[in-house]
Structure 1
Amino acid sequence: MESTTLKKSNVDISYHPAGRFEETRFEKIHNTIFENSSDGSAVVAKEIADLIQQKQANNEKCVLGLATGSSPIRVYRELVRMHNEEGLSFSNVISFNLDEYLPMEKENKQSYHFFMHEHLFDHIDIDPKNVHIPNGTVSGEAIIEHCLDYEKKIKAAGGIDFQLLGIGRTGHVGFNEPGSHHNSATRVITLDHITRVDAAPAFLGINNVPRRAITMGIATVMSARRIVLLGWGSNKAPIIKKTVEGDISSQVPATYLQEHRNCTFVLDTGAASELTRHKTPWLVDESLTWTAALTAKAIVWLCGQTGKSILSLTDKDYNDNGMSGLLTSQDSYDLNIKMFNRLQHTITGWPGGKPNADDTNRPERAQPVNKRVIIFSPHPDDDVISMGGTFDRLVTQGHDVHIAYQTSGNIAVSDTEALKFAEISKSINPSENVQAIIDALKTKKDADYDPVEVRKLKGNIRRGESYAATRYFGVEDTNVHFLDLPFYETGTIKKNDLSQADIDIMVDLIAEVKPHQIYAAGDLADPHGTHKICLDALFAALEELKDKEYMKDCWVWLYRGAWHEWDIDEIEMAVPMSPDQVLRKRMAIFCHQSQKDGVMFQGDDSREFWMRAEERNKDTARKYNKLGMAEYEAMEGFVRYHFI
């Protein structure tokens, strides 16, 4: 069999036939890893384009199996670019989409029919007769005939040349959920609860997500001559590890791909982060270069493996766990002391620096004593959920703290909550405008988009809650900034790309405050992507401002959100909280009442945000304690971002 090659820069990453490929002894599926999804998507789009053009040169049809969801969007965007700028023609392409919700009208904005036309088909020269997407409007006995006919059309086209896949957190490909048989063909399937939870943001709540779908079967997918699966982000890391390194199981349908002879997983660093060669590379490569960061990661892992504190580790512990390379130039005692001191020096009760103290081994500077601080919060509650204890400490210790809410967060307010406020407003001051809002909310159909007036009301609800929290911590209203970045204000789950207008708003605030500290959300596990765009906006603003004199005194600290904390070896500043401070943080989170009960976009964790935040902070403190540090009630962790 010929080798199939994906290219990045000047490096060839070739796939080898089944049974010969072995990146590590743990991996059972060929995979290539890119720094980000943009780079990976461009390479995949290039492979598809090359295949189309090769088929054109031979006067042949090119049959593509296409996926939907967030993963392939950049691939489609690149294909559209190549069509517009490089003359790539799709005139010889026949496409078959993997799946469609059931029931689902083609015109519905949540349909995959709408998705494919929005992102690809409306922008290229493919013959509409060559586009095939399962019909979400069929019902009754007609569904069986429709599925059989779909299979016949694929076979009549000569089979699929190239199948593009994403992967769900259940391990589904297409909508082949856990339990799917390897011989399954196109059929109706009941969606797993986790799949519906993941789709909930797009449908404005899980109750609006269909419970069934039509999907190509496992056997249909496996019949493709070439398969590329896309995996982006740390949310996908656990299922990628199970799929690439685990046993073949119907409970993880993507593992069937281990048996395909021409399959590649294209991943970014986040999605690949749990693979053994990245998580614990010392178990794979004995010739590692032991950097300070890798050494810290390995020692923390070793403590977890042995159940020991840092200062209790022995030479035998290192040797027995693939880390003998660390002992070539120093013994375990020296290693342990260095790591213990490193972690100890991250702990501080003075996140703005301790006045009149030696700051040689402290994470922050002692001077200036009173710092100007900006806390950037993607949504109107991320500040208190993610770093409420540190926020409180900064204010209490006399720093000039500014809070900048980057988006309105209006889509996260339920219609029920908005109606409650509208009816209260009407009872106080009746008006036609308020009545129009009430009417719009009462007549709204599932997944309808809110009119501007309703969005404004929902945004004001979140503003009021934000003021309640900042006032509770003692921040003056003049230090609270609502940026309403334009990329977010679309009225839909789908956001616009980051624009210069967004960046300019960030630049203006930073230039106005001239901060000594900036805190920002570095949590890219946010289920609907707002955190990443907000972080990109900050990074772009810092790039524009980095040559300003006042920015030379500015340090940037990244916090994590409600879903994850930094790994212990990554944390560069850990701010402990007493039991009283934990309660104060909880009360600040409670100020965000519209988000307290029945949150719309909480991912797969049904706990309220304050519960998740407290458990995460307490878990961080427990981990420090198990490593041999002092015992604290809870801790918040930060990593410094160096932009200069």
Structure 2
Amino acid sequence: MILDTIKFKEPGTFEDTRFEKVHTIIFQESKEPSVLVANEIASLIRTKEAKNEVCVLGLATGSSPIGVYQELVRQHKEEGLSFLNVVTFNLDEYYPMERSNLQSYHYFMHDHLFNHVNILPENINIPDGTISTENLKAYCIDYENKIKALGGLDFQLLGIGRTGHIGFNEPGSHLNSRTRSITLDHITRVDAAPDFLGIDNVPRKAITMGIGTVMDAKRVVLLGWGNNKAGILQETIEGLISSEVPATYLQEHTNTTFILDEGASSELTRVKTPWIVSTCDWDDKLKLKAVVWLSGLLRKSILKLTDSDYNNNGMAELLNQEGSAYDLNIKMFNKLQHTITGWPGGKPNSDDSKRPERAIPEKKRVIIFSPHPDDDVISMGGTFDRLIAQGHDVHVAYQTSGNIAVSDEEALKFSEITLSLCKDCEVSDQIINFINSKNDDEIDLDILRKLKGDIRRSESKAATRYLGLSDENVHFLDLPFYETGTVKKNSLNQKDIDIMVALINEVKPHQIYAAGDLSDPHGTHKTCLDALFGAIDELKKEDYMNDCWVWLYRGAWHEWETYQIDMAVPMSPDQVLRKRRAIFYHQSQKDGVMFQGNDSREFWVRAEDRNRLTAKRYNDLGLADYAAIEAFKRHVF
């Protein structure tokens, strides 16, 4: 049973969840459920405190539990939640790993939780990444025995990796495994690479609690956020129990809840194809999703789908509502057709009733917000080019400097060139000496960070000049949340939002383009989008905002699903090449980019492949055959 203190939404009827083998609850985003999980933990701590008992918590690291820890800290500071009766055991730690290293889980836990609450230091247990090899086995046995001596874990908080690992229990881990040393899967190391500024710096081993340790916990909550986790979560929740996906063992735990946001749940049957599991409320959005899915399943264009196709694939109810496949097919085909436009700023002197953008005003003021100094051309370079060519007043705003993504080798190259031109350049000497003696976990000097930022600025200007944009319309915002000198960023604050507000107020745009690709490995895209939404919230009462439309692009990691697209901008083969050339100006991000995520292709290759795939999907549905398409979803505020 779920603890009485938890106040989660109902997961749905049995019919809705009949494919799911573990209790799963879905929320729109991660903030609300993070607070609810923190409330459950806080209630457990208080209940144990009232009984004069120790509360034993198993804790996780990574981005998933950060919101939970933030709420626990808030409750400690504002509501008097005490941690004096709490003993914690962390799931894992890299090996070898110094505690002071910014990438260590020891550092993570103290930074996000322990330094801000009144837990006793002797009650904090985190696997020791400095233990000697010869003492490692005995250390793991002792760690396990400490947990058992306290009666086991009262509550275990988990995230999940793309291999299906919980803790660092990689594929092949046994149900009865206990705390031990383990070799990390390559995919796990790839996912960790951004935090370590490259996969070569990621340790190959770790210490982890075992599956058996986790399964002995009295209560388990697993958090899953974002599209990147959708595939493995579907396999974990709906698939067979297998050591190849260690998280599937949780299907046999009697008190486990998986808590997912919209993105992480997107591959579950009840979300992806709800018509298969229960009666649906068939609005236009769901109709389009179902028809696109059916067309893909049967490899037929939309206009070739028949009554029997719908009846044989769980959509008899929809067909009954619409009358016939013919009528439904025409309706959905036209809906998709009307998303396609070669005029992203609106086509002048035309009927815009069946176009995604307005014809008036003929010349629009446009702001393209780019989280990093290359997202603009990577994700919407063709549309960017088209907006300039069609005479709109286009501005591009780079929200962060992107300096952390410039390698020391690249900075060294520029410093050495500068020194060759100016023999007495003390700054270049200082940078060169620092790089040559730099430790792995050392934060860059301010002058080195400035150089790296200037490299990104010069590349950005080269790309925008190539597209024909005037330098005065290029804005470098350098939002403060990013400027830490490390992979770990600060939280969004009012200063960030004020900078966004000032630019929007200055331009008074008719269109805003912004990155809606929230699969960014270290969260900069989401923070930048939150900054935009915060600015819009402050400005939405201004008269000019009534005429402002917001278009969200993707492309660096994922693309919008076809049924989600509100505007599809086709590109000719020549425009594809122009986009490629614009991306190539970002030379520091080519050939071994630092924050590549789980895709080994260069960003220009990813972008072209995704744009071509979007065009192919439209063509497969029976629409025109284009070389490539960039896709946008309208955000209504």
Q: Smaller-chain TM-score range?
A: over 0.9
CA distance in 2, matches of 1:6, 1:302: 42
Shift of 1:215: 0.4
Question: Residues 308-365 of structure 1, C-alpha deviation per residue, up to 9 Å, x if partnerless?
Answer: 1010011101111111111223211110000010011111111111112111101111
Shift of 1:70: 1.1
2:544 aligned to which of 550, 557, 561: 550
* Cα pair 2:101 2:441 within 8 Å, conserved: no
1:436 alignment counterpart: 430
CA distance in 1, matches of 2:213, 2:2: 23
Give the aligned residue type for 2:389.
T
- Asked whether 1:310 is paired with 2:302, we answer yes
Give the aligned residue type for 2:604.
W
CA distance in 1, matches of 2:315, 2:125: 53
1:473 aligned to which of 459, 463, 467: 467
Give the aligned residue type for 1:152.
N
CA 1:153–1:86: 2 relative to 1, 3 Å:
same
2:262 aligned to which of 265, 269, 287: 269
Secondary structure of residue in 2 paired with 1:294:
helix
CA distance in 1, matches of 2:4, 2:383: 49
Instruction: Give 1:21-36 correspondences, 5 Å limit.
Output: 24-36=17-29
Give the aligned residue type for 1:111.
S
2:65 alignment counterpart: 72
CA 1:324–1:22: 2 relative to 1, 3 Å:
closer
2:3 alignment counterpart: 4
Instruction: Give 1:378-527 correspondences, 5 Å limit.
Output: 378-430=371-423, 431-527=425-521
Secondary structure of residue in 2 paired with 1:640:
strand
* Cα pair 2:10 2:25 within 8 Å, conserved: no
- Asked whether 1:321 is paired with 2:313, we answer yes
Give the aligned residue type for 2:42.
A
CA distance in 1, matches of 2:4, 2:288: 35
Instruction: Give 1:124-523 correspondences, 5 Å limit.
Output: 124-285=117-278, 287-329=279-321, 330-430=323-423, 431-523=425-517
Structure 2 stretches of 5 or more lacking a match? none
Secondary structure of residue in 1 paired with 2:563:
coil
CA distance in 1, matches of 2:10, 2:49: 25
CA distance in 2, matches of 1:503, 1:80: 24
CA distance in 2, matches of 1:588, 1:12: 49
* Cα pair 1:204 1:447 within 8 Å, conserved: no
Shift of 1:125: 1.7
Instruction: Give 1:51-70 correspondences, 5 Å limit.
Output: 51-70=44-63
Among all aligned residue pairs of Structure 1 and Structure 2, give the percentage whose two residues are the same amino acid.
Answer: 70
Secondary structure of residue in 1 paired with 2:127:
coil
Secondary structure of residue in 2 paired with 1:434:
helix
Secondary structure of residue in 2 paired with 1:487:
helix
1:632 alignment counterpart: 626
* Cα pair 1:6 1:13 within 8 Å, conserved: no
Secondary structure of residue in 1 paired with 2:169:
coil
CA distance in 2, matches of 1:21, 1:321: 21
* Cα pair 1:99 1:213 within 8 Å, conserved: yes
Matched residue count: 635
1:91 alignment counterpart: 84
Shift of 1:254: 0.4
Shift of 1:428: 1.2
Shift of 1:13: 6.0
Give the aligned residue type for 1:316.
S
* Cα pair 1:7 1:13 within 8 Å, conserved: no
Give the aligned residue type for 1:439.
N
CA distance in 1, matches of 2:102, 2:571: 46
Normalised to the residue count of structure 2, the TM-score between the two structures is 0.98
Give the aligned residue type for 1:438.
I
Shift of 1:12: 5.7
2:532 alignment counterpart: 538
CA distance in 2, matches of 1:465, 1:268: 36
- Asked whether 1:569 is paired with 2:568, we answer no
Secondary structure of residue in 2 paired with 1:350:
coil
Shift of 1:561: 3.0
Shift of 1:21: 7.3
With 49-58 and 481-490 compared, the bigger mean Cα shift is at: 49-58
CA distance in 1, matches of 2:130, 2:485: 27
CA distance in 1, matches of 2:116, 2:473: 46
Give the aligned residue type for 1:300.
V
2:582 aligned to which of 588, 599, 621: 588
Question: Residues 244-267 of structure 1, C-alpha deviation per residue, up to 9 Å, x if partnerless?
Answer: 011111111100111111111111
With 211-220 and 47-56 compared, the bigger mean Cα shift is at: 47-56
Shift of 1:578: 0.5
Question: Residues 51-81 of structure 1, C-alpha deviation per residue, up to 9 Å, x if partnerless?
Answer: 1111122221111111111111111111111
CA distance in 2, matches of 1:616, 1:139: 47
CA distance in 2, matches of 1:365, 1:57: 63
Shift of 1:495: 1.0
CA distance in 1, matches of 2:7, 2:467: 49
Structure 1 stretches of 5 or more lacking a match? 15-19
2:573 alignment counterpart: 579
Secondary structure of residue in 1 paired with 2:464:
helix
CA distance in 1, matches of 2:547, 2:116: 48
Shift of 1:447: 3.0
CA distance in 2, matches of 1:460, 1:624: 40
CA 1:167–1:5: 2 relative to 1, 3 Å:
farther
2:613 alignment counterpart: 619
Question: Residues 503-560 of structure 1, C-alpha deviation per residue, up to 9 Å, x if partnerless?
Answer: 1111111111111111111111111110111111111111111121222211111100
CA distance in 1, matches of 2:4, 2:160: 22
Shift of 1:141: 2.0
CA 1:215–1:203: 2 relative to 1, 3 Å:
same
CA distance in 2, matches of 1:81, 1:13: 28
Secondary structure of residue in 2 paired with 1:574:
strand
1:17 alignment counterpart: none
* Cα pair 1:414 1:600 within 8 Å, conserved: yes
Question: Residues 258-303 of structure 1, C-alpha deviation per residue, up to 9 Å, x if partnerless?
Answer: 1111111111111111111011100111x21101000000000000
CA distance in 1, matches of 2:406, 2:458: 13
CA 1:326–1:13: 2 relative to 1, 3 Å:
closer
Give the aligned residue type for 1:164.
L
CA distance in 1, matches of 2:563, 2:342: 19
With 452-461 and 431-440 compared, the bigger mean Cα shift is at: 431-440
CA distance in 1, matches of 2:547, 2:106: 52
* Cα pair 2:11 2:26 within 8 Å, conserved: no
* Cα pair 1:21 1:30 within 8 Å, conserved: no
